[in-house]
Structure 1
Amino acid sequence: MAPALIRDAFVGDVLYHVSGHRLFQHPEDRPGFTIPIPPRSIKSSRSGSASPSNLETATAIERPDDEESRLPRVDSDQSTIAVPEASEEQRPARRKAAEVEEGDLAGEKEKASVQQEIAESRIVEWYGPDDPEDPQNWSTAKKSFVTFEICMLTFSVYIGSAIYSPGIGEIAEQFGVSSVAATLGLTLFVVGYGIGPMFLSPLSEIPQFGRTTVYIVTLALFVVLQVPTALAKNLGALLPLRFLAGFAGSPALATGGATLSDMWAPEYRAVVIGLWSVAAVSGPVLGPTVGGFAAQSESWTWTIWILLWLSGAALAFLTFFLPETSASALLYRRAARLRRVTGDKQLKSQGEIEAEHMTVGDVAMMTLVRPFILMFVEPIVAFWNIYIALVYGILYIFIESFRVVFVEKHGFNLGENGLAFLGLFVGSILTYAVFAPYAVKVLKPRFLDGTFVPEMRLPIAFVASVFLPISMFWFGWTSSASVHWIVPIIASAFFSAGTYLLFQAGLNYLSDCYPRYIASVLAGNDFFRSMVGAAFPLFSTAFFHNLGVGPACSLLGGIAILMLPIPYIMYRYGAHIRSWSKYAD
C-alpha cells in the first residue's frame, strides 16, 4: 500500500515529473509493460468499429525514436490483450459523459464536437473491473487510511472558525472596537468558506488538477495566512486575513464527501460520510475548548498560533500521504503516460476531452448560476436549504451564547467555558455510534437489493426535528445560576444529536435526488447556510442579553417547531415533487 500511496500523493507526483519519470514510476513506465485496451476504446469513427477478431489479436505499439532510450520497451511481437469493458459503476468518467444534459455545455454544436472527439479518440479507461488503480478497488485498509486523512484535513480547517471566539473580548479591548466588530473575525471566516467552494471546488473536478492538488495548494495558503493573522496590529488587517483564510480552507469542507465517494461503494457511503461529519462537527465544537485555554493562558494570538500548528501538521502529513482519488484525474494521468510511451496522441481519457471543451461560461453556470436556479425553482432544495441554514445559524449562536450562560451566570473562566462545549462533542459521537449500525442494517440492504429510494434517508430526520426544539427549551430554561451547570450541557448534547442527524438526512437526500447536479446543489447549500451561520453570531450577545436566555432559546425553539413538518412532508410527497422536476432523478 505504501509505495502507491506516496506515489499518487502530491509530493510523489511532483517528484515523478521533476525526476523525468524515474522516481515513483507507474506500471506503464516499467520495461515489458503490455497495454490492455478495452474493446470500446478501440472504436474510432476514422477506422470503423473493431471487429471481434481485432479485439483478441496482438497489435504492435511503436514509440517515437527520440524517446527510445528512456521509455519502457514494448516489443513489436508482444500481444496486447483486450479486457472486458468495465462496469458503469467502475467507470465514473464515462458515466459522467452520459449525464451531460442541455445547459451543461454551450449548445448542441458543442456537444456534437465533444462526442465527435470522443468517437475519434482511443478512450483510456480502467484495465478491467478489478484494476487496482481504481479507488473503488483499493483495500479496506487503504480506504480507511485515506478516510482518516480527509477527517484530519476537515478538522484542521473547520476548527479555525470557533477557535477564534474565546479571544473576541481581548481583541475588542486591544484594538479599541466593540465586541460586535471583533466578532466579524468569526463571521468573515465563515463567509469565506461559504463563498470559496463556488470558485475552488470546481477545480477539483478538472482532470488536470484533481482533488489532491487543490487540497494541498489551498491548505498551504491557509497555513501561510495564519502568520500575518496572528501578527495583525489592527482590525483592518485582521478581518481580510480571516476572510481569505476561510476562503482558502473551503475545498476540504465542500469536497471531502466527494473524495470519500470516489473510494466507497454507495452502500458504505452513509457510514463513512457520517464519520467525516463527526470530524466536521468536532471542529467548531472543540475550537472554543482549545482556544479558551490558549486565550486565558497567553493571549488571543495563541488561538491563531495553535491553528497554524494544527493545519501545518496536517499539511506536512497530507503532502506525503494523501493520494489522488478522482477517477477523472487518475485516468487523465494514465492517458498522458500512455501517450508518452506509445506516441499515440489519440489516447485520451473521457474526462480530459470534456474538460478541454468546457468554457468559462460553462463553469460559471455550474458554480455561480445553477445553484441559485435550483434553490429558487426546486421546492426540495429550497426547503432543505432553509432548514439546514437555520440549524447552522443556531449552532454558531450557541457558540456565542455559552459565554453568556457559563461565564456570566455560572462564573466559568475562558478555559472552563471551553470545556462546556464537550457536551456538543459527546452528543455527536454518541449519535454516530447509533447512526452507523442503522446505516448498515437498514440502508445498506436497500442499496444491495435495488429497492433504495431517496426518501429512505428521512426517518432519522424525524428524530432530529424533535430533538432540536427540545434541546433549545431545555437549554434556555435551565441556564440560570440556580441550576447546576451540567443540566444545560446535557441539553446541548441533544442539540448536537439533532443537528448531526438532520445534516445526514438532508444533505444525503439532496445528493440522492439530484445526482447529476450534486455539485451545484451542495455548493448552493454550503453558501446559503454559511451566510446564515455567519450572521447569527453578530447579534447573539445582544439577543440573549435583551431577551434573556430562556425567552431567546424559546424563540429559536419555536422556529424549530415551525420547521418540524418539512421532513415529514418530504417523506410523504418527495417522490411526487421530484416527478415534476426536470433536474431531479
Structure 2
Amino acid sequence: MAPFPTIVFVPGAWHSPECYRRVIDQLEAAGYETDLVHLPSVGPTQHLPDFSADVAEIRSHLEHLVDAGKKVVLVVHSYGGVPSNEAVKGLDCASRQSNGQAGGVAHIFFCCSFIIPEGKSLLGAFGGNDLPWFTVSADRLEVNPDRPDEIFYNDMSEEDVRAAVSSLRPHSYRTFRSLCTYAAWKEVPSTYLYCATDAAIPLELQKMMVEDWAAGYPIRTEFLDASHSPFLSKPTEVTAAIRRAAATSAYFQIQSPAYYPEPYEMLKPGSEHQWRPTPQQPGLPNAYLHEEKISRPRKDLHFLSAPCAPHQEGSSAPLARKAMPCKMAQVELGDQETSLSTGTEEHERQNDYEVCWEEDDPANPHAMASKRKWVIVSLVCTMTVCVCVTSSLYTTTYNQIMAEFHCSRTVATLGLSFYIAGLGWGPLVMSPLSEFYGRRPIYLVSLPLYIVFLIPCAAAHNIQTMLVARFLDGLAGAAFTSVAGATVGDMYTKSTLHTPMLLYTASPFTGASIGPILGGLINTWALWRWSFYFLLIWSSIQSILVIIFVPETYAPVLLRNRARKLRQETSDDRWIAAIEKLDRSVFKTVLHSLYRPFMLLFLEPMCLNLCLLSSIALGVQYLFFGAFGVVYGNAYNFGSWQSGLAFTGLLVGMIMAVLIDPWCCKLYPYFSRGHKEEGNNGSNEPESRLPPAVIGAPLMTIGLFWFGWTALPSVHWIVPIIGSAVFGAGMIFVFQGVFTFFVDAYPLYAASALGANSFTRSTFAAAFPLFGVAMYHKLGDQWATSLLAFLSLAMAPFPYIFFRYGKKIRSRSRFAA
C-alpha cells in the first residue's frame, strides 16, 4: 500500500474531472495515486431528478478504494462537495476501524466548495433562490452558468479561459434542490481552501459556511488569492495545499509519528467523532493551527482553540488568542524525504498572531449584558428622534422668520429642504467611514458639529446664514440616520435583532411627527429663536449621554484596537487584526458607496419602484408640515399650536404600527404560501418580507383620501386626524417591509440598496415642501390631498407585484440574490 493516501477528485457542476489535470499531474509525479469521478449530472441529456446518481457514482469510487484497504483524501470543488458529503457516510476511517475494517476516507479537501447543513439543499440553504449567475432552461431541467469567464476564471489568461469555457457542459438543475441528509465534515477531518477573488461563491459566503454553519467542527482552513478555479490558475499552490491536507489526514487516521509526534487519541462520545487531545498534551498540533481558527466554537469543543498567549500582568494578552507558529514536518514521500511546510511563509506572517474573540469574551458587543444593550439602543434612538425633531420643528417658525428676514415662504421652506438634503446625503460618506474608523469616532466628531451648527441657526440675522447652517447641521446629524442603525446591528444576532432594529427604524419618522407638536407650543408663546435654544439644550444633554454611555461596537475596529495594544505591550509587531489586512483605501471605498446606489436605482426595477414608494411616503409626511396649517386653518380656524397638536394622529398611527408589527410577523407564513418549496413555508424568501408593505401601501392611499375629503368645516376635526393616523401606520408598514426586503434580496449589496433608498426618499422629502403649500392654495384642500393619494395609489401595487413575481424578477437581476 502507498505510504500516503489516494487522492480522489470530484469536480463541480458543468465540469469534467479533467479540470484538475494540472494538479493531478503534479501529484502523480510526486508518487500519489489518484482517481477521477465523472458526475452523471453533467451533460446535455442528463436531466436527473436529484443528486442521487452523483452520490452513487462517488460512493462507488470510494468503496472500490477503501475496500482495498486504501486511505483516501477526497478533493471536492463547488457543487461537488454536496453529493460528496452524502457519499462518505459510513466510509470514513473511524467508522471502518470501529468495524474492524481497514482503509477509509481520511480527509476531505473542500476547494471553494459548498458546505450545506443537513435538511437543506444547496439553493435552499441560501433562501431557495437561483444563484445570481444561473441561466436556467424554460423547462427548469437544465442550468448553465452566465458569464463563466467572469464567474469561474477571472484570474486566467484569455487562451486558458477559452479552453476552459469550451469544456463546460450543461448541468441537471434539480440536483441543486436535493436535500442533504448527512454532513461528512462533522465526522471526517477536513480542510477548506478559501479563494479570495471567487466570483461564484464570494469569500464572505465561503466564510459564512465554514465559520457559521460548520462552527465548532475540526475544519482547518487555508487562504489563496485565486478565482473559483484555482486548480487551473494556481495548480502548484493547490497541489501543495492538498499535500498538507494529506499529511494532516495521515496523523488523524494512520497515527504515524512521522507526521505528528504528540500523543493524541480519538474519542467517540455519542454519535459524533471529536478529535480531543490526551491529558498529557493539551492543545492542538502546531501544524493544525497555522490556519485560521474556528471562530465560534461550540462550548463542548472549546479545546479546539489555540492556547492563550503567556499572561503578562496588566496586559490584555489573555483576551487574544494566538495561532501558534508553524513548524516543518518531515514527511516520507516514496523513496525521498521531503520537507513539507505546514503553511507558506506569507500565510504564516498573516495568520500566526491574528487577534480574534474569545468564547464569551466580555469585550465582544454580542456578549454585552442585555440591560446595557437596551441603554445603548435607547440613547441612539432618542438621539435620532432629536435629530429628526430638528428637521420638522423648524416648520413652525416660518411666519416669524418670514417677518423678521423679509423673505418668501418658499425661501423660508428651503431651511427644511436643505436640512433634509444633508440628512440624506451624509450617510453616503459617513457609513463607509464608520467601517474604517468605527462608530464611536463618527459620533465624537458629528455630535459637537451638530451642536455647533445649531448656534448660527439660533443667532441668525439673515436667511442666508440660516440656510447654510441648516444644511451643515443636517450633514452632521446624518450620523444618526445611518451609523446609529449599524450600532444597533453590531450588538445583536440575527435572531434577536428584530425588536431593537424596529425601534430604531421608527425613530426618524416618529421624531419628525413630534417636531410640529413641540414647535407649535413653543412658537405660540415665545420667539422662534427659542425653538433652537430648546434643541441646543436637548441635543447637548443627549450628546453627553451618548459620549459617556455608547461605546465602540464595531467588532473589526475593537479587534484592531486590541491588536495595537498587544503590539505596544509585548513589543511584538506580529499581532494583527483582520481589518488591518484589508487592502482598500478610504477614498475608493467612499467613491464606491457613492456610485453603487445609483447603479441599483438605474438597473434594478424592484429597487427603483420600492424606493419611489417609500420616497412618496416620506415626501408626503414632510409636505404635511406646511399643509396641516393651511388645512386646519381653513376648515377649523386652528392656530399654530393647535395645528401642531393635529400631528398627534400621525404619531399615534406610527406607534400603533410598531406595536402591531410583532403580530404581523406571525402572519408571514400565511402570506408566504405561494412560495412554498422543499417542505418549508417560504418564509426564507426575500418576498416574505413584503407583506407589511403590501398592507401599508393601500393604507397610505386610504389615509390620504380619508384626510383630504373629511377636512371640512361640517365634519368634526378628529375625523381627518384619524385619517392621518391611518396614513402614518401605512407609512411605517411600508418602510419596514421595504427595508427588510432590501436586506434579504440584496444580501451582498444591502448597504447600497438602503443607501439608494435614503438618497431618493431624502430628495423627495426635501422637494415636496417647496411646492406643497402653493399646491394647496391653488387646488384646494381636497384635490391637493387627492393628487397625493393618486400618486400613492399608482405605486401601491408594486409591493404585491414584487411579492408575487419577485423571484422571477430576481432570477434576471445582476445584483439580487
Q: Deviations over 1:339-396 (max 9, x none)?
A: 2232232222112221xx2125521442211111111111221111111111111111
The 3 A distance-change label for structure 1 pair 59 and 480 is closer
**For the Cα contact (< 8 Å) 1:153–1:314, is it kept in 2?**
yes
Give the distance between the partners of 1:118 and 1:53, measured in 2 at CA.
Answer: 18
1:458 matched to 2:684: no
1:511 matched to 2:743: yes
Q: Counterparts in 2 of 1:185-204, with a 5 A limit?
A: 185-204=415-434
The 3 A distance-change label for structure 1 pair 118 and 298 is farther
Give the distance between the partners of 1:39 and 1:342, measured in 2 at CA.
Answer: 30
Greater CA drift, 118-127 or 248-257? 118-127
After TM superposition, give the deviation of residue 437 of structure 1 in Å: 3.2
Which of 509, 512, 521 is the matching residue for 1:281?
A: 509
Match of 1:182 in 2: 412
**For the Cα contact (< 8 Å) 1:57–1:81, is it kept in 2?**
no
**SS of structure 1 residue aligned to 2:482:** helix
Instruction: State the AA in 1 paired with 2:636.
Output: H
Give the distance between the partners of 1:186 and 1:410, measured in 2 at CA.
Answer: 26
Instruction: State the AA in 2 paired with 1:543.
Output: M
1:528 matched to 2:528: no
1:374 matched to 2:600: yes
1:146 matched to 2:376: yes
Q: Deviations over 1:190-219 (max 9, x none)?
A: 01111111122211111xx21122123201
**For the Cα contact (< 8 Å) 2:322–2:353, is it kept in 1?**
no
Which of 451, 461, 482 is the matching residue for 1:254?
A: 482
Give the distance between the partners of 1:442 and 1:165, measured in 2 at CA.
Answer: 39
Q: Deviations over 1:222-278 (max 9, x none)?
A: 011111110000011110000000011001112222222211222333322211223
Which of 395, 398, 409 is the matching residue for 2:624?
A: 398
**For the Cα contact (< 8 Å) 2:322–2:352, is it kept in 1?**
no
1:479 matched to 2:479: no
Match of 2:236 in 1: none
Give the distance between the partners of 1:61 and 1:161, measured in 2 at CA.
Answer: 52
Match of 1:24 in 2: none
Give the distance between the partners of 1:116 and 1:452, measured in 2 at CA.
Answer: 37
The 3 A distance-change label for structure 1 pair 361 and 315 is closer
Match of 1:30 in 2: none
Q: Deviations over 1:152-186 (max 9, x none)?
A: 12111111110000101110111111111111111
Match of 1:315 in 2: 543
The 3 A distance-change label for structure 1 pair 285 and 59 is closer
The 3 A distance-change label for structure 1 pair 570 and 347 is same
Match of 1:362 in 2: 588
Which of 452, 461, 481 is the matching residue for 1:233?
A: 461
Match of 2:355 in 1: 124
Instruction: State the AA in 2 paired with 1:196.
Output: G
Give the distance between the partners of 2:461 and 2:496, measured in 1 at CA.
Answer: 49
Greater CA drift, 314-323 or 142-151? 142-151
The 3 A distance-change label for structure 1 pair 474 and 126 is same
Which of 344, 349, 352 is the matching residue for 2:580?
A: 352
After TM superposition, give the deviation of residue 121 of structure 1 in Å: 5.6
**For the Cα contact (< 8 Å) 2:430–2:483, is it kept in 1?**
no
1:328 matched to 2:328: no
Give the distance between the partners of 2:605 and 2:317, measured in 1 at CA.
Answer: 57
Give the distance between the partners of 1:378 and 1:417, measured in 2 at CA.
Answer: 40
**For the Cα contact (< 8 Å) 2:315–2:566, is it kept in 1?**
no
**For the Cα contact (< 8 Å) 2:365–2:491, is it kept in 1?**
yes
**For the Cα contact (< 8 Å) 1:131–1:137, is it kept in 2?**
yes
Q: Counterparts in 2 of 1:199-238, with a 5 A limit?
A: 199-206=429-436, 209-238=437-466
Instruction: State the AA in 2 paired with 1:161.
Output: S
Which of 133, 137, 143 is the matching residue for 2:363?
A: 133
The 3 A distance-change label for structure 1 pair 223 and 81 is closer
Structure 1 runs of 4+ off > 4 angstroms? 38-45, 48-51, 55-63, 79-83, 115-118, 440-443, 448-451
The 3 A distance-change label for structure 1 pair 239 and 408 is same
**For the Cα contact (< 8 Å) 2:323–2:352, is it kept in 1?**
no
After TM superposition, give the deviation of residue 451 of structure 1 in Å: 5.2
Instruction: State the AA in 2 paired with 1:572.
Output: R
**For the Cα contact (< 8 Å) 1:44–1:121, is it kept in 2?**
no
TM-score (ref. length: structure 1)? 0.79
Greater CA drift, 434-443 or 212-221? 434-443
The 3 A distance-change label for structure 1 pair 80 and 521 is closer
**For the Cα contact (< 8 Å) 2:433–2:586, is it kept in 1?**
no
Give the distance between the partners of 2:816 and 2:609, measured in 1 at CA.
Answer: 15
Q: Deviations over 1:121-143 (max 9, x none)?
A: 63211113x32322223232222
1:303 matched to 2:531: yes
The 3 A distance-change label for structure 1 pair 132 and 451 is farther
Give the distance between the partners of 2:649 and 2:561, measured in 1 at CA.
Answer: 46
Give the distance between the partners of 2:441 and 2:219, measured in 1 at CA.
Answer: 30
* Greater relative contact order, per chain length (Cα 8 Å cut-off, separation 6+): 1
Give the distance between the partners of 1:396 and 1:57, measured in 2 at CA.
Answer: 54
Give the distance between the partners of 1:437 and 1:217, measured in 2 at CA.
Answer: 40
Give the distance between the partners of 2:495 and 2:667, measured in 1 at CA.
Answer: 10
After TM superposition, give the deviation of residue 581 of structure 1 in Å: 2.4
Instruction: State the AA in 2 paired with 1:133.
Output: A
Give the distance between the partners of 1:57 and 1:204, measured in 2 at CA.
Answer: 30
Give the distance between the partners of 1:218 and 1:116, measured in 2 at CA.
Answer: 39
Match of 2:401 in 1: 171
- Identity over aligned pairs, percent: 35
Match of 2:500 in 1: 272
The 3 A distance-change label for structure 1 pair 74 and 434 is closer
